[in-house]
Structure 1
Amino acid sequence: MQKYLDIFKSSYSDYWNYLKYELIDLNHWDNFFYGLVVISILVWILEIAFPWRKNQAIFRKDFWLDTFYMFFNFFLLNLIVFIALSNTVAELFNDVLGIIGLSVSSFQLFDVDELPKWLGLFIFFIVSDFVQWNTHRLLHRVPWLWNFHKVHHSVKEMGFAAHLRYHWMEPVVYKSILYIPIAIIGGFDAQDVAIVYFFSIAIGHLNHANLGWDYGVLKYFFNNPKMHIWHHAKELPSHTKYGVNYGLTLSLWDYIFKTDYVPHNGRDIELGFEDDDKFPKDFMRQTAYPAFQRKHKQKK
């Protein structure tokens, strides 16, 4: 037990030192903090220059709430809970495998270091995106997971920063499910991961931006604003009651598994979900949801 407590505590200090280094050091291109800032500013400029919903304000509804979510979820959430929790759980998982004479490397199909770098990155990107696509479907189909995912779908006006409005439980679910598939592929260094991460962040920001783009023929491969807005539609046909267009970076999976849905130009459709007018509007209550909601109902 002491070993796990030590890992938990050291994760805090290690990540805090890393975060301070990211804020101070500008000499490496794979700086996640400033990478997020640069991508966000560029996509926001595109929104301002080429607005799809021309009547939508530059500082749209919940702009500052989503901006806060963006930095909190991308950096502070890691400091508060996720890094320490994931490091501890990973060590516990490895120890459990060790009891039966196995290790994570026992499941490794191949080592990406033995492949050309471009091929290793491509495999990493495809596998992680497919796993996350399936996880996204679970968030819509499993009721207790949907309660967490409602935070993201509480967005009423789309803009780039809405991309990172999500409940703190979501990365716990995503990373837990993604752990084994990535372990099977093998290890990657930080710069390799940064390439995929920055690309995914850019596509995610564009998907949520106030832009009327679908990328032409590339829409069958990459998620895009005209496709993703239907994922946030408040009203959908009964045969799509669990949602549509689950793609994060790639739209390919939706077209393959017939979960794609773009019936017409969705520029002005209403966003949200049933009874979203009763959903908490501020960060603290959304973060505490659904526990806060249950407590509130009990008091009534």
Structure 2
Amino acid sequence: MEKYLDIFTKSYSSYWNYLKYELIDLNHWDNYFYGLILISVLVWILEIAFPWRKEQALFRKDFWLDTFYMFFNFFLLNLIILIALSNTVSEAFNDVLGLVGLSVSSFQLVDIKALPKWLGLFILFIVSDFVQWNTHRLLHRFEWLWNFHKVHHSIKEMGFAGHLRYHWMEPIVYKSLLYIPLAVIGGFDAQDVAIVYFFNITIGHLNHANLGWDYGILKYIFNNPKMHIWHHVKELPKCERFGVNFGITLSIWDYLFKTDYIPRDGRDIELGFEDDENFPKDFLSQSAYPAFQRKRKKTL
């Protein structure tokens, strides 16, 4: 127990030092803090230059709330609990495996370092995106997970910052389900993760932006604003009670598994979910909401 407590506490100082390093060091391209800002500004400029919903305000509804979520979820949440919890659970998992003579490396089937760079990145990207697509479906399928995910679906006007409005429990779910798959494809380094991260953030920002793009033929591969807006539609088709268009970065999974749904131009559809007018409007109340969850009404 003392070992785990030590790992937990040291994680705070380690991540704090890392965060300070990110803020003051501009000499490395894989700077997550300024990378996020740069991508956000560029996509916002695109929204301003090519707005799909021209009547939507530049500082749309909940713009500042979503901006707070963006930085809280990607930086402060790690400092508060996520890194410490992740490091502690990872060590405990390794110790449990050690009791039966195994280790995380025992699951490794592919060593990315032994492959050409492009192929290793492709495998890392495809595996992580597919796992996250399935995790996203679970967030809609199970009531207790859906109550966390409602925070993201409480968006009433789409904009780039809405991409990162989500409950703090979501990354715990995503990272937990990604742990073993990423162990299977071990050998990737921090720069591999950074490349995939920046690409995913860019596509995710674009998906939520006030843009009317579908990328032409590439819409069958990459998620896009015209597709993703239907994921946020308030009134779901009766045959799809648990949601549609679950793609994170890739849309191909939805087309392969028949969860795609784009019935018409969705520029002006109403966003949200049933009874969302009673959903909390501030960060603290939204964070506490799942503790007071209510049963979702069945659709006949």
Question: TM-score, structure 2 length as denominator?
Answer: 0.97
1:55 aligned to 2:69?
Answer: no
Alignment of 1:1-300 (within 5 A): 1-291=1-291
Contact 1:43–1:205, Cα closer than 8 Å, also in 2: yes
Other structure's SS at 2:236 match: coil
**Number of paired residues?**
294
Amino acid of the structure 2 residue aligned with 1:258: K
Amino acid of the structure 1 residue aligned with 2:77: L
Contact 1:222–1:250, Cα closer than 8 Å, also in 2: yes
Deviations 1:33-92 (A, max 9, x none): 000000000000000000000000000000000000000001000100100001100000
Q: Which moved more, 1:285-294 or 1:194-203?
A: 285-294
CA distance in 1, matches of 2:105, 2:289: 38
Other structure's SS at 2:239 match: helix
Q: Which moved more, 1:108-117 or 1:159-168?
A: 108-117
Going from structure 1 to structure 2, the CA distance change for 1:136 and 1:293 (only over 3 Å counts) comes to: closer
Amino acid of the structure 2 residue aligned with 1:200: N
Contact 2:69–2:166, Cα closer than 8 Å, also in 1: yes
Return 5+ residue gaps in structure 1 as ranges.
295-300
CA distance in 2, matches of 1:61, 1:110: 45
The CA deviation at 1:187 is 2.5
Amino acid of the structure 2 residue aligned with 1:227: M
CA distance in 1, matches of 2:22, 2:49: 30
Amino acid of the structure 2 residue aligned with 1:15: Y
Other structure's SS at 1:178 match: helix
CA distance in 2, matches of 1:236, 1:216: 25
The CA deviation at 1:288 is 1.3
Contact 2:246–2:254, Cα closer than 8 Å, also in 1: yes
The CA deviation at 1:191 is 1.1
CA distance in 2, matches of 1:100, 1:142: 33
Contact 1:11–1:84, Cα closer than 8 Å, also in 2: yes
Amino acid of the structure 1 residue aligned with 2:59: F
CA distance in 1, matches of 2:26, 2:105: 35
Contact 1:244–1:259, Cα closer than 8 Å, also in 2: yes
CA distance in 2, matches of 1:99, 1:293: 39
Return 5+ residue gaps in structure 2 as ranges.
295-300
CA distance in 1, matches of 2:277, 2:75: 29
CA distance in 2, matches of 1:292, 1:285: 10
CA distance in 2, matches of 1:239, 1:110: 39
Amino acid of the structure 2 residue aligned with 1:10: K
Amino acid of the structure 2 residue aligned with 1:228: H
Contact 2:160–2:205, Cα closer than 8 Å, also in 1: yes
Other structure's SS at 1:227 match: helix
Deviations 1:235-287 (A, max 9, x none): 01111110000000000000000000000000000000000001000001111
Other structure's SS at 1:67 match: helix
User: Share of identical aligned residues, percent?
Assistant: 83
CA distance in 2, matches of 1:79, 1:288: 19
Contact 2:111–2:187, Cα closer than 8 Å, also in 1: yes
Amino acid of the structure 2 residue aligned with 1:288: A
Contact 1:285–1:292, Cα closer than 8 Å, also in 2: no
Deviations 1:12-43 (A, max 9, x none): 10000000000000000000000000000000
The CA deviation at 1:171 is 0.1
Question: TM-score, structure 1 length as denominator?
Answer: 0.97
Q: Which moved more, 1:146-155 or 1:101-110?
A: 101-110
Contact 1:110–1:186, Cα closer than 8 Å, also in 2: yes
CA distance in 1, matches of 2:177, 2:279: 28
The CA deviation at 1:290 is 1.6
Deviations 1:138-160 (A, max 9, x none): 00001000000000000000000
Other structure's SS at 1:158 match: coil
Contact 2:147–2:293, Cα closer than 8 Å, also in 1: no
Contact 1:30–1:194, Cα closer than 8 Å, also in 2: yes
Amino acid of the structure 2 residue aligned with 1:136: H
